[in-house]
Homo-oligomer: A and B are copies of this chain.
């Protein structure tokens, strides 16, 4: 049972080396990180909740730059990371990527996207809580969104926000359905269907709650010039 890592992926695809931690047991996770630690490969850990983080081997845990709000950690990332972290908290200016959310419940996914971008030294801003049930909130942030080269839109419930935005901006829009909600909204299927069925041309969807995937797609787009 030898693990086979894919150390050349960053070169080929321009994407971060990442370990998806959900569903992996602690023993396997420790052994993966041990191997990666020796290779000094910078690695992004996603879906690492606090409980799992706490149960990692203490040596490994200490070497991680862990962020509980996004459930991500940086491993072997080096000094670049710190500088970038500061940038992402700056006041609203022009960013290559704007991350927009319809409600405050979508923050974890938005932060996962932001941390993934930051891992690749790409700055982004988060514009939160601009759901279309109150259009003026969107209007206030519109010019900021229009300056971005890529928009990532996190939207749960009926997910109207990406559709409305698609009529207002020129940039590519990566819509992330969010699993928030209850009844027919539960699990994010309604939001996903809404995004895919949208009458607004040119919307792009990723899997439900997949902030990491949305950021990777944004990286591909920014790399494509």
Could you list which residues of chain A lie within 8 angstroms of chain B, going by C-beta atoms?
A: 1-4, 6, 8-9, 12-15, 18, 20, 22-24, 28, 32, 47, 102-105, 107, 126, 128-137, 140-141, 149-150, 156-160, 163-164, 166-174, 177, 179-210, 212-213, 216-217, 219-221, 223-225
This protein's copies in its complex: 8
A149 to B220, CA, bound (A): 10
Known A3-B129, A132-B160; judge A196-B205 contact (CB<8 A): yes
A180 to B198, CA, bound (A): 12
Pick the residue among B1, B22, B132, B133 that contacts A182 (CB under 8 A).
B22
Is A196 within 8 A of B201, CB to CB? Answer: no
Is A4 within 8 A of B170, CB to CB? Answer: no
A27 to B, closest residue via Cβ: B69
